[in-house]
Structure 1
Amino acid sequence: MPSPATYNRSAIGTLWNLRDIPVEWPGYAILLKGDRDNDLAIEPDELDGVDWIAFSEAVGDVQEEAGVKDPDSKLGPNTLKLLRKKYGEKPSAGTVLKTVGDLVLKKSREPVAPPAGPELVGRNDEERRICSLWNRYGAAIGGQASQYGIPVESALAVFCVESGTAYDPGAGLVIIRFEPHIFRKHAGKEVVWGRGGQKTEWRNFETAFGVNPEAALLATSYGLPQLMGFNTWVTRFKSAREMVLAFQDSCTEQVAGFFGFVTKNRLERYIVDRDWRSFARRYNGPANVDDYSCKLNRAMKVIVSLQQDGATFKL
């Protein structure tokens, strides 16, 4: 089972964020110290600015005061209700995060899948990115990698390069990237679009969805593996819409999308051999093979360095 600090670090931005927590509670002030841009959301690059041990102790204090049997110091849904009751805060309304046309995106049922064992800790930004990825999603990545006979380290490297996270920490929405040239191919029309973070990507998606919903779904990549909507055929879902809703619901479904793509396109050999140029060309397209393969090589070197220092990526 994950430690309280690991659980709480993984939960922020998925199960709850600063906006869901009473400002009078001491734990709020602990989180606020890590919110460098003051947007009431702890982004991935702000996670290390939070004293998660102190925060977990504050959670434990709330549980003990409320007489919780076997307090675990983890801020889950029940403890969040205790906080709101104690400080007079009303629960946030409903579970719907965003509605785009008739597409209703709800809070994730499974935002993280942390592995058992101690939390991995990195010494620099690159190592911390790998460690955070494993601490949040290691159970799903490790379990499915073993099932398909693919080295977990290699899968971890791909996820690190693709997105590094399953959900936007601030909004709780699945990570996306809209591709206008794919939309043009399927819709036969242009739309106004831009780059600049997840808020911009969702504006892109909403604009495209208003023109042609199906083309918008097909022309966007989703989640940890950044799987394109037109690649739904590698998953168990019948449509891109079904896949998107499943990815919003579960990080494990996102991980399954990656392994489905790899196995149905017979890319296992490239991963096993760490032939990243061949893998990059087939997984991410021929346009940026040099850049993408270099990033994969670099991620693998960081993983190997962590292993040499005693980190293990096993369940």
Structure 2
Amino acid sequence: MPAAITLSQPVGENAENRPSDVLAVQRLLNLNLYRLPLVPRLAEDGVCGPLTIATIREFQRLVLDFSWPDGRVDPGGKTLATLNEPYINPALQKLLREEDYAAAAQDLAVDVATIQALAHVESNGSGFLENGNPKILFEGHWFHRFTGGQYDALYPTLSYAQWTKRHYLGGEREYERYEQAFSLDPEAAMKSTSWGKFQIMGFNYEDAGYSSVQGFVSDMKKTEGHHLQALVAFIKNNSMAELLRNKQWADFAKAYNGPGYADNQYDVKLEQAYRHYANSL
């Protein structure tokens, strides 16, 4: 994980604005644009002009909730520390953006609040680990099916006939299981793993809009926006979009989560989340 970017002098309004410091701040601001809807990308030229100062103020207003943004980034200050967050944590560079929600809503012909509710309830939190890799869960019973059980005896924690969570390692360590399975049968390993924010199984790659599982996995490593695009394709290809448009939460939850949806109150959670986001817009 990279060390935080530091400044020799303040940058912004009424500051010395050394070109090297300004360039560092401009790069950090561009890295944080996912937090700043409708703010244009800055030219990284080391010149602290009106647009750079205005972007600092907008960051302080929207992200830091400053009542009186001063348009200035001080060494050791809160603005610099917060700007550094996505730099030192690669996962933060890949989060969903406002334009991702808007594009998904347009694609499914629903309102943005519906997409926000869906992402809130059906997601597995963030789609990425702190090291920037997508979250995964390797499922050995699927690996067993896709490989005809040939690895059951030698690799009993990777390949087994019945589902069990006993062999899960979780978090970053789940990649240990996935990579070992990948060394045995790459395609079966990718198909036997759930990927990203919405934990879409690799074997669903066609429903997710891909012609190959390799293409699906490649995009799952990019951004949560790609995760959402795959979810939208999955919904459309399984004839669930109309249920969302009509706010048929129970019918959608049954189609998406299966007959046991009521046990986890997915329909209730979806409706509550929708009301929350709709009232926030």
Matched position secondary structure for 1:221: strand
Letter paired with 1:21: A
Residue 3 (structure 2) aligns with: 21
Whether 2:117 is the aligned partner of 1:145: answer no
Identity %: 21
Counterparts of 2:271 and 2:16, CA distance in 1: 41
Q: Residues 185-206 of structure 1: CA distance to partner in whole angstroms, max 9, x if unpaired? A: 2122344153353223212212
Letter paired with 2:247: R
Counterpart of 1:64 (choices 3, 12, 17) is: 17
Matched position secondary structure for 1:257: helix
Task: Tell me: CA distance 1:182–1:158, structure 2 relative to 1, closer, same or farther (3 Å).
Answer: farther
Residue 166 (structure 1) aligns with: 127
Alignment of 1:84-95 (within 5 A): none
Letter paired with 2:99: A
Counterpart of 2:28 (choices 62, 66, 74) is: 74
Alignment of 1:167-186 (within 5 A): 167-168=128-129, 170-186=130-146
The answer for unaligned runs of 5 or more in structure 2 is: 40-60, 65-91, 159-166
Q: Please report the TM-score for the alignment, with normalisation by the length of structure 1.
A: 0.56
Letter paired with 1:206: E
Task: Tell me: CA distance 1:150–1:302, structure 2 relative to 1, closer, same or farther (3 Å).
Answer: closer
Do the aligned residues in 2 keep the contact of 1:162 with 1:225 (CA within 8 Å)?
yes
Residue 192 (structure 1) aligns with: 157
After superposing the two structures, state which structure 1 stretch, 299-308 or 252-261, moved more.
Answer: 299-308
> Which of structures 1 and 2 has the bigger CA Rg?
2
Matched position secondary structure for 2:132: coil
Whether 2:115 is the aligned partner of 1:155: answer yes
Letter paired with 2:38: A
Residue 261 (structure 2) aligns with: 289
Task: Tell me: CA distance 1:263–1:73, structure 2 relative to 1, closer, same or farther (3 Å).
Answer: same
Q: Please report the TM-score for the alignment, with normalisation by the length of structure 2.
A: 0.62
For CA contacts below 8 A with separation 6 or more, give which structure has more relative contact order. Answer: 1
Matched position secondary structure for 1:173: coil
Runs of 4 or more above 6 Å deviation:
57-63
Counterparts of 1:113 and 1:231, CA distance in 2: 31
Q: For the aligned residues, what is the CA RMSD? A: 3.9
Matched position secondary structure for 2:118: helix
Letter paired with 1:146: Q
Matched position secondary structure for 2:28: coil
Do the aligned residues in 2 keep the contact of 1:164 with 1:224 (CA within 8 Å)?
yes
Counterpart of 1:304 (choices 241, 265, 275) is: 275
The answer for unaligned runs of 5 or more in structure 1 is: 1-18, 27-56, 80-110, 122-131
Do the aligned residues in 2 keep the contact of 1:113 with 1:136 (CA within 8 Å)?
no
Counterparts of 1:59 and 1:291, CA distance in 2: 54
Matched position secondary structure for 1:150: coil
